[in-house]
Structure 1
Amino acid sequence: MDDTLVMTGDADLKAYTDVVKLAKRLHGKVDAPKLLGAWKQLFLRAPWDPTHQVHVDEWRSGLWQQALQAQDIHDADMAKALQERFRASRLEHFVMDHGIKEMVGELKQQGYKVLVITNGHAEIQRGKLRRLGAADFFDAILVGGEEIAAGHAEKPAASIFLKACQLAGCTPDQAIHIGDSLMADVQGALNAKLAAAILVNRRHKVLPQGGPYPTHIVEHVTELPRILEALQATNPVEVAQEMS
């Protein structure tokens, strides 16, 4: 889902802009770039409580509080307000990229099963999926955080891909996967021995030596029908498709 179906990074940037406006209104002397820089470092280190004892919003409010304290601003209510604004604004700007809904509809009309596999915190990811109305047009959805809670694993573990194949009613060699992450998406699809591992490489990043290596590279997910046609031409078997 993230940065494949939706440009999550763009939504983040817009949310950060709204957070900065609120921070400056609540505390005139706040250094906005320093605040965001500190919060991003904390967020990358631990975006939610690894023990799952603290609610994700409370945890992230704590990250904002630590970022404020780095500027000698001690205001728990302000930190909570910044988290509320970040989450609400991020969801507000979380929209499906152009042409994807239409492509999914066309693929389903052609008989493909179209699924979403997304890593991340269950509550956060489910909120994003509800915002998209994803359940209305995808055949099934798997959330990595829910798999972990059930004692399984998220991408790149083969198990979540194989579960998707079961839900689609296909074998791994009848399924392809498309996503933006080399390690989570491409490696995961290779681990599960799917028919193809497609990388979305919007910014034409140079791939690192040593792999994992995708079977196909596209700039945008809407190039998928072209890849499917090529796959059917070389191996005319029924292929089910998985998106992340």
Structure 2
Amino acid sequence: MDGESVKAILFDLDNTLIETARAGAVAIQKTSELLKTALGLDDNAISSICDKFKHKLLHETFDPTAGRSIDEVRVGHWQEGIQEILGSCPTPSLPTDCYNLWKNSRLEILSLSPETCSLLKDLRSRYKLLLLTNGETQTQREKVVVAGCEEFFDTIVIGGEHAEQKPFVSIFRLCFGLLGVEAQDCVMVGDSLDTDIEGGLNAGVRASVWINNTGGALPEGSVKPDYTIPTVLDLPGILAELK
């Protein structure tokens, strides 16, 4: 890692700076309770409906030119999940109620911790900071706003607003250009080996830092990050090594 000092840090958002997975679990639990009250089903049936929704969300493809908003698409996920388990949806408004509860419950929890805010403030006094997050534009912008991210970053790049998202090199080059730096001036920090780490390495960043917040071993055959830490709060130690 010899060379000039680091000038910029690119951060992922979900499960790197904010606890999206935990927020999603809480939101699903609250929606499960709504479904149980509305439908009077046992826990297994309710769990199956929620699993259907999560599967559809995970494998979601969204075309903004197709005439449906992301909200409408995700209401449809709930409606399809209910219909696939029950054969029909007994209450027409229930899918919308489920989606609104799930979405709002999740957003309520998505925040930068005080410790993370302090870290970002300190880092921004010494480095250029850029937030680079994959995902559909509206969804990610809503997270950015409720988490209060804007004040901590020089630039925010939402993958859904561009032709290619992480791990494609093009979006990393866009970020380098926006910051006025070279790839070797940058550190990429994120929790996804497939998008954050692979993308950063392919783009030629000075170092990649994997946030392994689950404590699991590096998967067989996966890309190898330069550094691994359990939380973004440990990043200063890595930056000290890179000086």
Task: Please say whether Structure 1 and Structure 2 have the same fold, judged by a TM-score greater than 0.5.
Answer: yes
Q: Output the amino acid matched with 1:219.
A: P
Q: Quick check: 1:104 aligned with 2:120?
A: yes
Equivalent residue, structure 2, for 1:34: 48
Aligned residues of 1:49 and 1:59 also touching (Cα < 8 A): no
Q: How many residues align?
A: 227
Where structure 2 has 5 or more consecutive residues not aligned to the other structure, the ranges are: 1-12
CA distance, structure 1, for counterparts of residue 34 and residue 88 of structure 2: 15
- Select 1:11's aligned residue among 15, 23, 27: 23
- Following TM superposition, by how much is the alpha carbon of 1:204 offset from its aligned partner in structure 2, in angstroms? 1.9
| Contact map agreement 2:82 2:88 (CA 8 A) in 1 | yes
Q: Select between 91-100 and 8-17 the one with higher mean Cα deviation.
A: 91-100
Aligned residues: CA RMSD: 1.6
**Counterpart for residue 176 of structure 1:** 187
1:117 Cα shift? Answer: 0.2
Query: d(CA) in 2 for partners of 1:88 and 1:49?
Result: 23
Q: CA deviation at 1:45?
A: 2.2
Measure how far apart 1:47 and its partner are: 5.5
The answer (yes or no) to whether the contact 1:7–1:97 under 8 Å persists in 2 is no
Where in structure 2 are the equivalents of 1:61-80 lying within 5 Å? 61-69=75-83, 70-74=85-89, 75-80=91-96
- The structure whose RCO (Cα within 8 Å, separation 6+) is larger is 2
For 1:207, the equivalent position in structure 2 comes to 218
Contact 2:212 2:231 in 1 (8 A): yes
Percent identity over paired residues: 31
| Mapping of residues 105-120 of structure 1, within 5 Å | 105-109=121-125, 111-120=126-135
State how far apart, in whole Å, the 2-side matches of 1:53 and 1:176 are.
Answer: 38
Q: Distance in 2 between matches of 1:12 and 1:182?
A: 21
Shift of 1:51: 5.9
Q: How does 1:1-244 map to 2 (within 5 A)?
A: 1-29=13-41, 31-46=45-60, 48-49=62-63, 52-69=66-83, 70-74=85-89, 75-109=91-125, 111-147=126-162, 152-232=163-243
**Do 1:22 and 1:82's aligned partners in 2 also have CA atoms closer than 8 Å?**
yes
Aligned-partner residue type, residue 194 of structure 1: V
What's 2:10 paired with?
none
Q: Is the 8 A contact 1:47 1:60 kept in 2?
A: no
Secondary structure of the corresponding residue to residue 76 of structure 1: coil
Structure 1 window deviating more from structure 2 (162-171 vs 191-200): it is 162-171
How far did residue 203 of structure 1 move?
Answer: 1.5
Distance in 2 separating the partners of 1:33 and 1:219:
30
In 1, are the aligned partners of 2:112 and 2:148 still within 8 Å (CA)?
Answer: no
| Range with bigger deviation, 210-219 or 120-129 | 210-219
Moved more, 27-36 or 198-207: 27-36
| 1:49/1:26 CA distance change after superposition, 3 Å | farther
1:177 aligns to what SS in structure 2? strand
Deviation per CA, 1:13-56: give whole Å up to 9, x if none: 11111111221222223632111112112222226458643211
1:107-138 C-alpha deviation (Å, 9 max, x unpaired): 112x2011100000000000000101211221
- In structure 2, the partner of 1:239 is none
Judging changes above 3 Å, is the alpha-carbon distance between structure 1 residues 220 and 98 closer, same or farther for their aligned structure 2 residues? farther
Relative distance call for 1:59 and 1:49 in structure 2 (3 A) is farther
